[in-house]
Amino acid sequence: MPKIEIPSHKTRLKKALIDWKYYKKNKEGWFFFGLKKFWVPAGAIAVIFVISVFAINFIFPQDTFAKVKKIALEDPQIRQLISEGATIKNIEITNNKAYVLLTPKEGLTEKKDSVEAKNGKEKLRGALAEIEIKEKRVSKIEEVPPYAAPLSQSEEEKTKRIITESEFSLPKAPEPEGNSLMATREKEEEKNIEIEKIEPLPTYKLKLQKKDGGVEILPEKNENESVRVIYRIDGEKKESQIDLIKERVEKSKILDQEEDIKKESEDR
Amino acid sequence: MDLRAEKELVKKAQRDPEAFSLLYEDNYSKIFSYVLKRTANVEIAQDVTSETFFKALKNIKRFSWKNISLSCWLYRIASNEIVNYFRKNKYKCVSFDKIAEPSSFLTPQTDVMEAEDELKKQKEFLEIHQKISQLPDIYQKVIVLRFFEKKMVKEISEILGKKEGTIKSLIHRGLEKLRKLVK
């Protein structure tokens, strides 16, 4: 069969195809089409990323934290600690393990001063529990001691100033600090305040921080909030508890009198 | 044109009419000839060829996903369009009607009349076509592609999306059926 062709159809069809709306549409919308080609997938990726981050950081961890808390609260040792006044302070999750920091409730530590703690009237405890998330069990509980930062020179000076101001009822210095300090020193010398011992009061203001696949316990602040000071004034031995943040004496007692009372009762 | 160059051109043709023109020039005659041999009607061959190219242009973005040459893809579209033509009571070439100036179609073109005359002269072809057209569509496709378009079995398998073995057996069975009809 010979080749049959219709040149007019070929030409008209070609013209029709090129003039067709397909190219017109693409020509007009090319700028936006190009943008769409880039922005639609980029936008979709961004949305997926945001949702993933949201899900990972907010939904699933919360769910895991809730699970961890439930496992912890089912453990008898932890329940005992909670009944003694502890509370879950912090939870960290790392390497399929959860770490739960339990510390005495805020306010409880303030009620019990160092003397009470020493007498062993009531013992407040902190603890760190390690939880195997997959096995849903508490694998280890360690007692956490309260933390006291080493006493700094400024804290020592602040303590002396507060004690002196308290003993002589000096008003809080509205004048420059140097003048106030000079005045307290003069009074100290005059009345002969002799500081025997200043020791920081340990606190359970602690937090957990991830480190090397595990956790470490750190103080919330690197400075002491309160100190216990033993000093002599006019022949009397005193012990005071000082709040360094509020800059005031919280508690104070005369030790010599207590010692005398004790001796008398022993003699009787 | 090798497959890679053709794919580049297809990609370019998505927004460049010039690139599409090159592809069109390369394939128009093949497709028109195939449709004419399948339909034995110049008018229908024009309409089906037009519709084939409109569909190809409309879907050209999808072409890069198919691991076949453009001509194979066009043959496939054309084959489907022929089926559509015979399936519908009244075949309507929608795309071309919309874009073309009606006046140009109302006036019969000289070359169209010449082509019709030429076709009428091909008595042997028309006789065999009359027999082939009685076969089921799949046999018509394989016989026309193999014996009129001189396509290899591999090419036919790509056009129809069937295994080479299937094509061979379809050709064999088609010829047997045709022989029976001719006798």
DSSP B121-136: H-HHHHHHHHHHTTS-
Q: Which domain CATH number covers B161?
A: 1.10.10.10
Q: Is A40 on the interface with B (CB under 8 A)?
A: no
Average pLDDT over residues B168-179: 94
- Give the pLDDT score at A219: 85
Closest CA to B173 of B136, B120, B126, B133: B136
Instruction: Please give the CATH topology (third level) of the domain spanning A19-145.
Output: Nuclear Transport Factor 2; Chain: A, (3.10.450)
* CA distance linking residue A91 with residue A207, whole number of Å: 9
Residue A96 above 80 pLDDT?
yes
Both B83 and B162 in one domain: the answer is no
* CA distance linking residue B117 with residue A165, whole number of Å: 125
- Give the pLDDT score at B97: 47
Both B58 and B126 in one domain: the answer is no
Closest CA to A147 of A198, A107, A207, A92: A207
Number of neighbours of residue A38 by Cβ within 10 angstroms: 9
- Give the pLDDT score at B157: 92
Both B104 and B129 in one domain: the answer is no
Instruction: Report helix angle B17-39 to A7-19, nearest 10.
Output: 140
> Regarding predicted confidence, which is higher, A110 or B41?
B41
Residues 6+ apart with CB under 8 A from A26: A33, B14, B15
Both B101 and B39 in one domain: the answer is yes
Average pLDDT over residues B146-155: 92
* CA distance linking residue B180 with residue B176, whole number of Å: 6
**What b/e readout covers B74-102, taking b as 16+ CB neighbours within 10 angstroms?**
bbbbbbebbeebeeeeebebebbeebbee
* CA distance linking residue A21 with residue A18, whole number of Å: 8
- Is the residue at B99 inside a domain? yes
Q: What is the largest CA-CA distance in chain B?
A: 53
Residue A178 above 60 pLDDT?
no
- Give the pLDDT score at B101: 47
Give the burial class of A87: count Cβ atoms within 10 A of its Cβ; 0-12 exposed, 13-18 middle, 19 or more buried: middle
Average pLDDT over residues A42-55: 78
Q: How far from chain centre, in Å, is Cα A124?
A: 19
* CA distance linking residue A240 with residue B55, whole number of Å: 95
| Residues of chain A contacting residue B96, judged by C-beta atoms under 8 Å apart | 13, 16
| Residues of chain B contacting residue A34, judged by C-beta atoms under 8 Å apart | none
- Is the residue at B117 inside a domain? no
Last residue of one domain, picked from the residues B65, B84, B109: B109
The answer, as to whether pTM is greater than 0.80, is no
CB contact under 8 A, B33 and A18: no
- Give the pLDDT score at B174: 94
Kindly indicate the confidence band of residue B166, based on its pLDDT and cuts at 50, 70 and 90: very high
Average pLDDT over residues B38-48: 90
CB contact under 8 A, B100 and A19: no
Average pLDDT over residues B5-31: 86
CB contact under 8 A, B17 and A16: no
CA distance B99 to chain A (A): 6
Kindly indicate the confidence band of residue B74, based on its pLDDT and cuts at 50, 70 and 90: very high
Q: What is the pLDDT of residues B87-138, one digit of tens each?
A: 774 544 444 444 444 444 445 568 788 888 888 888 888 889 999 989 999 9
Residue B3 above 60 pLDDT?
yes
CB contact under 8 A, A4 and B36: yes
* CA distance linking residue A98 with residue A64, whole number of Å: 9
Tokens representing residue A100 in the block: 């739960």
pLDDT cut 90: percent of chain A above it = 5
CA angle A213, A218, A222 (to 5 degrees): 145
- Is the residue at B69 inside a domain? yes
ipTM of the complex: 0.83
* CA distance linking residue A135 with residue B172, whole number of Å: 68
CB contact under 8 A, A12 and B100: yes
Tokens representing residue B9 in the block: 């051109």
Q: What is the pLDDT of residues A132-168, one digit of tens each?
A: 988 888 998 988 888 888 888 888 888 888 888 887 7
Residue A106 above 80 pLDDT?
no
| Residues of chain A contacting residue B104, judged by C-beta atoms under 8 Å apart | 12
- Is the residue at B157 inside a domain? yes
Q: What is the pLDDT of residues A242-266, one digit of tens each?
A: 988 888 888 888 886 656 556 566 6
Q: Is A192 left (phi over 0), alpha (psi -120 to 50) or beta?
A: left
CB contact under 8 A, A8 and B112: yes
* CA distance linking residue B161 with residue B142, whole number of Å: 12
Both B51 and B140 in one domain: the answer is no
Last residue of one domain, picked from the residues B81, B109, B137: B109
Last residue of one domain, picked from the residues B74, B109, B144: B109
Domain that holds residue B152: 122-183
Both B59 and B139 in one domain: the answer is no
Residue A39 above 80 pLDDT?
no
**Choice among A92-96, A205-209, B92-96, B175-179 with the minimum mean pLDDT:** B92-96
**Mean pLDDT computed over every residue of chain A:** 77
**Per CB distance under 8 Å, which residues of B are interface residues toward A?**
14-15, 17, 20-21, 24-25, 28-29, 32-33, 36-37, 42, 46, 49-50, 53-54, 57-58, 95-96, 99-100, 104, 109-112, 115, 118-119, 122, 125, 148
